[in-house]
């Protein structure tokens, strides 16, 4: 999608906003006008090719877009023509039924000729010669409204669609379905793919012996494509998109694939899809025909596709990471079914492939019943570069793994293997052996065994350039070129764009050192965070300031290997003597530190292993960081103050702190870091009191709800053991019999941010008991509380399993790095 599309859509919305404030209505007005314009474009194209117009003839002749935009008529007359045209389109028998249906509910909701004139001027930019612009415009509108992201529904980039279609390879005989078709991109690409197989040309343009389709074959082919979508707006766009690609009667229907049964008996030889993966509140309402009973849309869509393939069917479906490795019952059973019935390959896509809509991590599941029956293995392919910058700008890049991946997959389907760093072949028995059927290819890549090797130790100064940067004199500026200091590197080594500072263009142009290049390794050289590491993996223009070192790899070392080496515990130990002064400070002497330097091919293996672990960690962190319990509060539920349903007690601490009479015993005392570590159910492990100390503290019972009032105010937990709480906590005793402790915990977690806001909006540094007494919570019937707790608890279990994955693969990363130093 180019910037001109965005600019004209934004301009059209800006024109409309004063008279059509509702975003949904803006979408209707823009798509109606685009379809109107495209109808006239098709007529003009036919005329230029020596044919006859088919839309604006006879009774509709006076409503052609070219006449509508004639500069000789005024805006009032233009509005009259436009308004009449919308009515005529819905009634005219000469229009195809598709277009009559599209305009059936169309109308002009305002009466300002000047606004309409400006609006239509923006629409005139779009042209039928680029039919994808209609879908691009519609989906850009949805992205502005955030309705795509909220629904877990993201536009599939054209090159990913074409890649999937090429792998699945639909033919003239295949019946093709997209059960969540959106704007029809997969169906159009599949049609184009088949037509290219019969155009008499090779991909390089040379001629071959392919025979063109006969008129009857082409007619039959048109009837082989079907699409479903629950969104009537998407259905309308998909119908027009198909029509623009010569489908006179496209089989695109409004249909809830997961909830309706009317089309359950239909089977297809090819299914292609990127279905929405966010489940509605309360889960998907479905029926009993699915082989897996789940309320998760991503599970149900994959199950649907498996159930609707013909015996020799093929499919490609984009799925979120949860399908690949989450440990919920439905997810695990689905993966078992996949491995045992039809799955032949899994393609891991890079996280930024769906930018600018989302950075969500996804994979492609590829089904081929014939291939799966013949092989005892499943192929895993990892795409790291897709030919585009993985940021929001989507600039073309010369790094592209898709052609090699396509060759690997095409050979695999023919029974041949290609050895490649992108591919790993794994026996189904190995995937099944521990019962979780994990489909993350990185899990099965053979770890590099270099533990017995002794690589040469080389000084940093020999294998990388070391430099620092600078900033404008006179303080910060509001915009310009990115400037990276310690604050712009997070504790987990990521670049914090939300904290970005800037230098002027003038200063940047004068800099001789400190200008960043993709692949540079960063280290904070002084201050409170001395030694903190980062990795610059971006194409943006940027520089470091005087507080950060750049380590730029020379040709004998890979940048990511350098980064991994400098992140290792062994290097960090070597670094400590070089950090000097009260607030730290590292000099250029660190060039003398030596690191192990294996051959480049071994470095590549190590980097691939570390990247695999990093991908799993990133996917799991995405789940843990974004999850929080959500309680949909019904208006009829009773609202009560906390003080009316429980007795609040403030924690207490024996004084003086550290006195051996009170501290160092066997009675656990809760600390905020215990809660941060354990989450919902906490077992104190850090601090302990004597019997005398416990008498001066506040004892609480196993199962009691507690809340931090300082440190991390508002953070709740439930005690797993009897324990004391200090004065940084409150405890909730003697809960009403009408309130479940678990429900109270989830309500507190749900309300944590709002509970910590004063009316002016400032965050409390501490919460007082009086403030907490006034907290208001919903109090539904116990049966409903139990249902809510069970639902959230099921989600929390998945989140906890992701936390375990993070810990496992962080340790694997450390172990891999330790091997380099023979530790």
Q: Are 530 and 521 in contact (CB under 8 A)?
A: no
Cα separation of the two ends of the chain: 50
Query: How many alpha carbons lie under 13 Å from residue 413 in its C-beta half-sphere?
Result: 20
> What pTM does this model have?
0.56
pLDDT tens for 182-195 read: 888 899 999 999 99
Q: Are 525 and 548 in contact (CB under 8 A)?
A: yes
Where, residue-wise, is CATH 3.40.50.150 in the chain?
146-443
pLDDT at 682 over 90: yes
Which one has a higher pLDDT value, 519 or 620? 519
pLDDT at 132 over 70: no
Task: Give the Cα separation of 704 and 539 in Å (integer).
Answer: 52
Mean pLDDT of 736-752: 92
* Integer CA distances (angstroms), 33 to 96, 133, 330, 758, in order: 17, 13, 44, 47
Mean pLDDT of 387-399: 73
Please, what is the angle between helix 600-626 and helix 559-567, to 10°?
Answer: 70
Task: Give the number of other Cβ atoms within 10 Å of residue 391's Cβ.
Answer: 16
pLDDT at 485 over 70: yes
Arithmetic mean of pLDDT over the chain:
86
pLDDT, position 147: 39
* Integer CA distances (angstroms), 542 to 468, 476, 484, 515, 562, in order: 13, 15, 7, 6, 20
Chain centre to alpha carbon of residue 744: 31
**3-137 CATH, one of 1.10.3720.10, 3.40.190.10, 1.20.1260.30, 2.30.40.10:** 1.20.1260.30
Fold of 146-443: Rossmann fold (3.40.50)
Mean pLDDT of 705-721: 90
Helix and strand counts by DSSP (H, E) for the chain: 29, 31
Where, residue-wise, is CATH 1.20.1260.30 in the chain?
3-137
pLDDT at 814 over 90: no
Q: Are 35 and 29 in contact (CB under 8 A)?
A: no
Query: 638-779: CATH homologous superfamily?
Result: DNA methylase specificity domains (3.90.220.20)
In this structure, what token pair is assigned to residue 695? 């008498």
SS3 content of the chain, % helix, strand, coil (to 5): 40, 20, 40
pLDDT at 4 over 80: no
| Long-range contacts at 18-25 (CB < 8 A, ≥ 24 apart) | 18/115, 19/109, 19/110, 19/112, 19/115, 20/109, 20/110, 23/141, 23/144, 23/145, 24/145, 25/109
pLDDT, position 448: 44
Mean pLDDT of 448-468: 78
Where, residue-wise, is CATH 3.90.220.20 in the chain?
457-597, 638-779
pLDDT, position 150: 39
Q: Does residue 480 sit in helix, strand or coil?
A: coil
pLDDT, position 264: 94
Percent of the chain with pLDDT over 70: 91
pLDDT, position 366: 97
pLDDT, position 763: 42
Find, among 648, 681, 686, 682, the residue nearest to 667 by Cα.
686
Q: Does residue 178 sit in helix, strand or coil?
A: strand
pLDDT at 308 over 50: yes
Per-residue pLDDT band at 73 (split at 50, 70, 90): very high
Sheet (strand 520-524) strand order: 464-468, 548-553, 520-524, 533-536
Mean pLDDT of 430-441: 87
CATH architecture label of 457-597:
Alpha-Beta Complex (3.90)
């Amino acid at each position: 999608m180019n910037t001109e599309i965005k600019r004209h859509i934004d301009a059209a919305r800006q024109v409309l906003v004063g008279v059509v404030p509702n975003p949904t209505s803006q979408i209707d007005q823009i798509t109606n006008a685009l379809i109107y314009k495209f109808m006239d474009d098709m007529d003009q194209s036919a005329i230029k090719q020596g044919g006859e117009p088919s839309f604006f003839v006879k009774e509709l002749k006076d409503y052609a877009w070219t006449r509508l935009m004639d500069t000789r008529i005024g805006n009032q007359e233009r509005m009259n023509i436009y308004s009449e045209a919308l009515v005529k389109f819905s009634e005219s028998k000469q229009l195809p039924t598709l277009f009559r249906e599209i305009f059936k509910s169309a109308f002009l909701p305002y009466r300002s000729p000047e606004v309409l004139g400006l609006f239509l001027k923006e629409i005139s930019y779009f042209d039928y010669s680029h039919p994808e612009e209609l879908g691009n415009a519609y989906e850009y509108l949805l992205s502005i409204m955030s309705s795509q992201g909220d629904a877990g529904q993201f536009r599939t980039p054209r090159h990913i669609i074409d890649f999937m279609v090429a792998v699945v390879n639909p033919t003239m005989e295949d019946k093709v379905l997209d059960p969540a078709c959106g704007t029809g991109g997969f169906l159009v690409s599949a049609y184009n793919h088949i037509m290219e197989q019969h155009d008499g040309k090779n991909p390089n343009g040379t001629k071959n012996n392919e025979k063109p389709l006969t008129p009857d074959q082409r007619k039959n082919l048109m009837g082989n494509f079907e699409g479903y979508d629950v969104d009537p707006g998407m259905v309308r766009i998909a119908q027009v998109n198909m029509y623009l690609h010569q489908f006179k009667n496209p089989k695109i229907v409004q249909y809830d694939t997961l909830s309706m049964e009317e089309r359950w008996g239909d089977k297809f030889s090819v299914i292609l899809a990127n279905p929405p993966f966010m489940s509605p509140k309360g889960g998907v309402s479905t029926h009993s025909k699915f082989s897996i009973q789940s309320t998760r849309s991503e599970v149900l869509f994959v199950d649907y596709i498996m159930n609707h393939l013909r015996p020799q069917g093929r499919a490609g479906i984009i799925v979120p990471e949860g399908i690949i490795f989450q440990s919920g019952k439905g997810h695990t059973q689905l993966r078992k079914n996949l491995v045992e019935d039809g799955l032949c390959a899994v393609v891991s896509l890079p996280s930024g492939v769906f930018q600018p809509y989302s950075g969500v991590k996804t994979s492609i599941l590829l089904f081929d019943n014939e291939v799966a029956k013949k092989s005892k293995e499943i192929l895993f392919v990892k795409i790291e570069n897709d030919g585009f910058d993985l940021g929001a700008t989507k600039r073309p890049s010369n790094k592209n793994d898709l052609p090699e991946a396509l060759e690997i997959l095409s050979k695999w389907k023919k029974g041949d293997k290609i050895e490649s760093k992108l591919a790993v072949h794994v026996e189904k028995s190995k995937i099944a052996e521990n019962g979780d059927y994990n489909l993350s290819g990185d899990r099965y890549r053979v770890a590099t065994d270099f533990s017995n090797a002794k690589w040469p130790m080389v000084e940093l100064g020999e294998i990388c350039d070391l430099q620092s940067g600078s900033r404008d004199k006179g303080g910060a500026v509001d915009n310009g070129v990115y400037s990276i200091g310690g604050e712009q590197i997070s504790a987990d080594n990521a670049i914090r764009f939300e904290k970005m500072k800037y230098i002027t263009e003038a200063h940047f142009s004068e800099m001789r050192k400190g200008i960043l290049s993709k692949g540079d390794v960063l280290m904070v050289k002084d201050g409170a965070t001395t030694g903190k590491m980062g990795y610059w993996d971006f194409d943006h223009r940027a520089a470091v300031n005087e507080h950060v070192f750049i380590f730029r790899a020379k040709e004998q070392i890979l940048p990511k290997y350098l980064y991994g080496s400098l992140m290792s515990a062994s290097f960090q130990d070597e670094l400590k003597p070089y950090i000097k002064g009260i607030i730290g400070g590292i000099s250029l002497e660190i060039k003398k530190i030596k690191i192990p330097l294996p051959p480049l091919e071994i470095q590549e293996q190590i980097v691939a292993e570390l990247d695999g672990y990093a991908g799993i960690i990133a996917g799991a962190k995405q789940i843990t960081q974004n999850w929080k319990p959500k309680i949909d509060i019904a208006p009829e539920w009773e609202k009560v103050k906390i003080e009316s349903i429980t007795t609040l007690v403030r924690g207490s601490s024996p004084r003086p702190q550290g006195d051996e009479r009170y501290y160092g015993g066997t009675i656990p005392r809760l600390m905020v870091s215990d809660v941060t570590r354990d989450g919902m159910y906490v077992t104190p492990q850090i601090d302990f009191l004597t019997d005398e100390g416990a008498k001066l503290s506040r004892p609480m019972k196993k199962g009691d709800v507690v809340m931090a009032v300082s440190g991390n105010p508002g953070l709740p937990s439930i005690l797993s053991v009897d324990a004391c709480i200090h004065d940084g906590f409150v405890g909730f005793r003697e809960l009403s019999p009408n309130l479940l402790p678990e429900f109270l915990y989830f309500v507190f977690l749900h309300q944590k941010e709002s509970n910590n806001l004063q009316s002016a909006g400032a965050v409390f540094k501490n919460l007082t008991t009086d403030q907490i007494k006034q907290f208001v919570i919903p109090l539904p019937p116990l049966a409903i509380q139990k249902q809510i707790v069970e639902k959230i608890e099921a989600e929390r279990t998945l989140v906890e399993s992701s936390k375990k994955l993070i810990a496992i693969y962080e340790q694997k990363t450390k172990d891999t790095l330790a091997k380099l130093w023979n530790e």
